[in-house]
Chains A and B, each alone.
Chain A
């Protein structure tokens, strides 16, 4: 298809935005790490920072191993069998993706915190951090690996069985080797997520012993004001994440097997497989639902253990003048406002990027649009602090940062949709006398509606839950729900804890409702 002027124009606009609000802040961090007299040497010679690096990589590796160990059997069973409730479960698996870190963090606190329902206080233990990481990433392994195998594995396993390979042998000789590339992809993703873990650590293990690099950068910036070392750590983290991503994409390209999709219905599990599947489902349900349920129960529990009680909610609604917490009303208003603004902005940038890649000659924007995903939110927030000090007190600072974090999801969702559009429809419209802009409005956008709605729902959820960048850029007046929750957690006293639970419940419900609403409408298009 002929590249059009609109595509070229949008490419220029998107590039300019990315250059100013993404590349420039990173460049400022880089410059700062070198210009701050001796900061690199100071960091490199301090064993504490090496310890942090070791811990960060170690806990990420451990989380990955644990997640894969728990998720792989589930993935293999998912790919192999059909069962009642599978579709529902697949939908339930998106919950950890979209639930704000803070919500899951508080959920685990409600289960295993000092005042947790289990009676077991695991706060400030590595175990609790690992548990939360598994919660976030279990579904990634099951969905990525299970989804990869689902089309091909059943038929190939049948072939294996006619060749004399029983269930275990076939798993060993067929399923596992086939799953390897997907497993590697999923494991790398899990590793990267856990490597830059921030909210989970801040909430569940606020002790220097368990601080990741990301937490360290935040502490250096926000509390110690040591911007030089912070910049060095941010650059080091960026380089490491970039390297892992690079190795991963290389390995992917080499390992990638296009699995044929066979037309075959999945069988229902029988015998031992049924038992194994049942156990996996139980595990998944316990993992995903128990922290959320604990959060709900905790939030609705009164002082004397009465249930249901709205005391926590009432406490959250009260503005607390002395301590400067945002009330539920203010935080909710801020969150919804910022989420709406950043969703709009993310849709504009994401669409501009996708359109420029597909319709203009801007193919280079395609990989570039992935970079913000590999950049940690704290690094981005830090970059804004350094590059645009004026943006910090400004109401647009947070929405712009959120939009930048969210737009890759939009671009990723729109790119395949745009590429899938039938160019003859545009030709037909043009032959009927429609210009490029009117084609966009009357032919292309209506076809992209579903993808746009899905993208919007993800952008909205990202913004509602965003924590790292917000924490660095926020001023009390603009506190979002996650920030309000975190503020209360940091104060002693059961009333603050209760109010934090109530706020987290509201955040969970609002995020869930918006996702449900937008995705429903997105799907019903077909």
Chain B
């Protein structure tokens, strides 16, 4: 019982928007499709929805091929980035739109609409015009509308990107709880990794039309496969093999990632462990310190972040420290 994408391809002229994507989605699973803008993730979602026809490859749901099925017969719910609410219908009519197509009884429609508006926290707003809603409310209506006909798969295309920061944070958590509580599999497209990792347990990272890595959020976050992935996921310390010649314990064959979150800063006097480190730059991000540390013995510089308690006092430029780097902090990357 699964949604299966097999070698999907979609080209626009010379642009390979989706360039051979194979992916499987299990029942009740939420998958985040994460990637920078222009990586083809929205196109991939549109292929799954049936809004675009693939140039090659196929798509099957629970064993039957649906590649040629038009969107209206797939029963895939979609939440659009710009909501796409029908301006000529009120909130209730918007949510009931798919139920009308399924020829539901009036009373059943009304009940289902009420149930969904309750679910998304808009109970009682059936008669409201959609133009009178705030962006966040419109987003909730779009979600309720997509969920109402009990879709096989729920597709969400950057659903929070048009909202302001505060609202996005709040809705992100809410959506995460909602999706994990509902018996629906979902594909959540986003360029924002915090959204991806909050909402989905499994994450597929996309780059230039291909999947760069697919795995649980821990796998992807802690063990990015390539230098590009490490950079994209916010790791700052990626080194080429040539830079690491003087570093004991570092992988020697290819590029490597140094996970600064696994390192420990020690006072200079502490002779016990680690290597010499000199503070080259000090900045703050809220309560967190952001330091640039030069390691003269190893011939490299790295970015380090942490709170007060992880430091032997307030850091200053030029300050001498020592840095303890356990072996597991080094991770070898694929040379790509």
Shortest A168–chain B CB gap in Å is 10
Query: How far apart are the CA atoms of A143 and B153 in the complex, in Å?
Result: 38
Query: How far apart are the CA atoms of A178 and B155 in the complex, in Å?
Result: 25
Contact B101 A257 (CB under 8 A): no
Query: Does B84 interact with chain A (Cβ within 8 Å)?
Result: yes
A-B pairs under 8 A by CB, number: 79
Assuming A169-B101, A178-B87, is B146 touching A162 (CB within 8 A)? yes
The one of B101, B131, B155 that contacts A163, using a Cβ cutoff of 8 Å: B101
CB neighbours of A260 from chain B (8 A): 82, 87
Assuming A155-B80, A258-B131, A260-B82, is B49 touching A162 (CB within 8 A)? yes
Query: Does A177 interact with chain B (Cβ within 8 Å)?
Result: yes
Query: How far apart are the CA atoms of A152 and B82 in the complex, in Å?
Result: 11
A261 (CB) vs chain B CBs: closest residue: B82
B102 (CB) vs chain A CBs: closest residue: A164
CB neighbours of A393 from chain B (8 A): none
Assuming A162-B51, A162-B71, A164-B72, is B149 touching A257 (CB within 8 A)? no
Contact B87 A259 (CB under 8 A): yes
Chain A interface: which size bin?
20 to 34
Query: Does B40 interact with chain A (Cβ within 8 Å)?
Result: no
Assuming A158-B51, A169-B101, A258-B131, is B149 touching A163 (CB within 8 A)? yes
- Subset of 12 A-B contacts with CB under 8 Å: A158-B78, A158-B84, A161-B70, A162-B77, A162-B146, A163-B101, A169-B72, A169-B101, A173-B97, A174-B88, A258-B131, A259-B87
Query: Does A156 interact with chain B (Cβ within 8 Å)?
Result: yes
CB neighbours of B217 from chain A (8 A): none
Shortest B129–chain A CB gap in Å is 10
Contact B51 A163 (CB under 8 A): no
B100 (CB) vs chain A CBs: closest residue: A173
A157 (CB) vs chain B CBs: closest residue: B84
B148 (CB) vs chain A CBs: closest residue: A163
Query: How far apart are the CA atoms of A190 and B255 in the complex, in Å?
Result: 71
Query: Does A127 interact with chain B (Cβ within 8 Å)?
Result: no
Shortest B45–chain A CB gap in Å is 11
Query: In the complex, which residues 76-102 of chain B have their Cβ closer than 8 Å to any Cβ of chain A?
Result: 76-78, 80, 82, 84-88, 97-98, 100-102
Contact A165 B97 (CB under 8 A): yes
Contact A156 B86 (CB under 8 A): yes
Query: How far apart are the CA atoms of A159 and B95 in the complex, in Å?
Result: 12
CB neighbours of A155 from chain B (8 A): 80, 82, 84
Query: In the complex, which residues 155-189 of chain B have their Cβ closer than 8 Å to any Cβ of chain A?
Result: 155
Contact B98 A163 (CB under 8 A): yes
Scoring A162, A166, A262, A263 by chain B CB atoms within 10 A of each residue's CB, the highest score goes to: A162
Query: How far apart are the CA atoms of A165 and B149 in the complex, in Å?
Result: 12
Query: How far apart are the CA atoms of A260 and B80 in the complex, in Å?
Result: 13
Query: Does B210 interact with chain A (Cβ within 8 Å)?
Result: no
Scoring B82, B84, B87, B102 by chain A CB atoms within 10 A of each residue's CB, the highest score goes to: B84
- Nearest 10 CB-CB pairs, A to B? A164-B101, A163-B98, A159-B84, A162-B78, A161-B71, A166-B72, A177-B88, A161-B72, A155-B84, A163-B97
Residue-wise, chain A 259-272 has the 8 Å CB interface mask toward B (1 for contact) of 11011000000000
Query: How far apart are the CA atoms of A152 and B155 in the complex, in Å?
Result: 21
Query: Does A160 interact with chain B (Cβ within 8 Å)?
Result: yes
Query: How far apart are the CA atoms of A164 and B75 in the complex, in Å?
Result: 7
Contact A262 B72 (CB under 8 A): no
Q: A156-B86, A166-B72, A169-B101 are in contact. List 12 more A-B contacts (CB 8 A).
A: A158-B80, A161-B50, A162-B71, A162-B72, A163-B77, A165-B97, A165-B101, A173-B100, A177-B88, A178-B87, A257-B131, A258-B131
Query: Does B145 interact with chain A (Cβ within 8 Å)?
Result: yes
The one of A166, A178, A262, A263 that contacts B70, using a Cβ cutoff of 8 Å: A166
B142 (CB) vs chain A CBs: closest residue: A159
CB neighbours of A258 from chain B (8 A): 87, 131
CB neighbours of B74 from chain A (8 A): 162
Contact A156 B84 (CB under 8 A): yes
CB neighbours of B82 from chain A (8 A): 155, 260, 262-263
CB neighbours of A177 from chain B (8 A): 88
Contact B149 A262 (CB under 8 A): no
B77 (CB) vs chain A CBs: closest residue: A162
A178 (CB) vs chain B CBs: closest residue: B88
Shortest A349–chain B CB gap in Å is 38
Query: How far apart are the CA atoms of A160 and B149 in the complex, in Å?
Result: 12
Shortest B10–chain A CB gap in Å is 13
A179 (CB) vs chain B CBs: closest residue: B88
CB neighbours of A158 from chain B (8 A): 51, 71, 78, 80, 84
CB neighbours of A162 from chain B (8 A): 49-51, 71-72, 74, 76-78, 146, 155
Shortest B242–chain A CB gap in Å is 44
The one of B72, B88, B100, B155 that contacts A257, using a Cβ cutoff of 8 Å: B88
Shortest B69–chain A CB gap in Å is 11
A180 (CB) vs chain B CBs: closest residue: B88
Query: How far apart are the CA atoms of A159 and B151 in the complex, in Å?
Result: 13
Contact B149 A164 (CB under 8 A): yes
A263 (CB) vs chain B CBs: closest residue: B82
Scoring B49, B82, B155 by chain A CB atoms within 10 A of each residue's CB, the highest score goes to: B82
Query: How far apart are the CA atoms of A165 and B94 in the complex, in Å?
Result: 13
Contact B70 A163 (CB under 8 A): no
The one of B85, B87, B98 that contacts A164, using a Cβ cutoff of 8 Å: B98
Residue-wise, chain A 164-204 has the 8 Å CB interface mask toward B (1 for contact) of 11100110011001101000000000000000000000000
